[in-house]
Amino acid sequence: MPHVTFLDEAHRHDFAPLYDAFCRDATTLYNWSHAPLDLEDLWQRLPQKDLGVLLLKDDEHTVVGFWFYAFPPHGALELSVFYLKDGFFPSGDWVKDAFQQAFDAWKSLDHWQDFSFGIYGIQTQWAKALDGLIVDGCSPIGLAEQHILRRDIITSDALPILNLYKTPVFPYAIHPWKDKYQSGLAVALAAAFKDEPDALWDARFRSEAGAKDVLMLIETNQFGQFHPKLTYVVLDERRKPVPVGAIFLLQGEVDTVNIPLLFVHPDHQGKGLAKMLMLNFMQGLIQAVHAKQLGATSVNATTNPVQVKALKVYTSLGFTIHEAGFHAYSSKHL
């Protein structure tokens, strides 16, 4: 029977060697581009409300694993790392028992809201042990494979993208971001994401009001630096222009920019609008980087293998899979 407990000063000595092993594995076995926080930096952040560690112990109360948890700006508890001691091979029931205890512990935290379990390539064999697990107050977990895609934007093969056609067929037109598009895009975002895994664990994607909150968080730089001039919106101009899709740009690191959202309202899909958005985005991004208006060498996007159309759009513009792993979803709503 496993035991779980929150990391504190009394467990620091037992936790340190396991965390050191995780840091080594992250940059060697799992090919992380950046090393995790070193132990001292981690320890400085632990008192903060947005980050914590939950320890897993075996029957003899030996520390054999840990979970990182965080409360990002969208308000969902997210587990970004699940790591077990090398050579430790518990049964699926052991993992599920540990998860149940962990779940009960997390519910005691003050700012619990929604819930997401993420693994992102770290010992992903244990993700399947949790697939379909039902815990009190939480809907069943759905397992989804995730692909992080990457494209270099300063290499010579990026420049030919500037010569590609980038205007959609009437009645659609693509324009840079304006604040007045936010309300209309909230409608499109909620409709586009209602059946996506994100909506399973983050309630914001299940309503127009919640989608507007997500857009506001992006605009106010909560997830990274927002670049409105490199964020593009597709409008349906048949009558009064109505925004029906968009692609956003955020910069979280000096050398990398991210696409946090690319979406088109379901009523307007199948018309090549997502590709037009991506093409306008890539052309604007390449021009900005080569003109030294934006400092970045690559752009990242996230999708999964079942999103065949999205993958086709990305790969047609030179994106390749940079990292693959699993993300399991669940939710609890207050």
Query: What is the pLDDT, as a whole number, of residue 200?
Result: 58
Which among 57, 144, 141 is positioned nearest to 101, based on CA atoms? Answer: 57
Tokens 């690319």 belong to which residue? 262
Burial of 63 (0-12, 13-18, 19+ CB in 10 A): buried
Q: Is 3-138's fold the same as 149-324's?
A: yes
For residue 116, is pLDDT > 70?
no
Distances (CA, A) of 156 to 53, 124, 295, 315: 44, 36, 17, 17
Tokens 């494209």 belong to which residue? 151
Query: What is the pLDDT, as a whole number, of residue 39?
Result: 85
Position 279 confidence tier, pLDDT thresholds 50, 70, 90: very high
Tens digit of pLDDT for each residue in 166-182? 899 999 999 999 999 99
Position 207 confidence tier, pLDDT thresholds 50, 70, 90: confident
For residue 106, is pLDDT > 70?
yes
98/138: higher pLDDT: 98
Whole-structure pTM value: 0.72
Average pLDDT over residues 273-282: 96
Query: What is the pLDDT, as a whole number, of residue 9?
Result: 86
**CATH for 3-138, options being 3.40.50.300, 3.40.50.970, 3.40.630.30, 3.40.50.720:** 3.40.630.30
Average pLDDT over residues 49-78: 76
For residue 301, is pLDDT > 90?
yes
310/286: higher pLDDT: 286
- Rounded distance between C-alpha atoms, residue 243 and residue 279, angstroms: 18
CA atoms within 13 A on the CB side of 283: 17
Report the percent of the chain where pLDDT is more than 70. Answer: 77
Average pLDDT over residues 220-234: 91
* Residue 283 CB partners (closer than 8 Å, separation 6+): 161, 162, 164, 166
Show me where the domains of the chain are located: 3-138, 149-324
- Rounded distance between C-alpha atoms, residue 99 and residue 103, angstroms: 6
Averaged pLDDT score across all residues of the chain: 82
285/68: higher pLDDT: 285
Query: What is the pLDDT, as a whole number, of residue 316?
Result: 92
149-324: CATH topology: Aminopeptidase (3.40.630)
Torsion angles phi and psi, residue 150, rounded to 5:
-140, 145
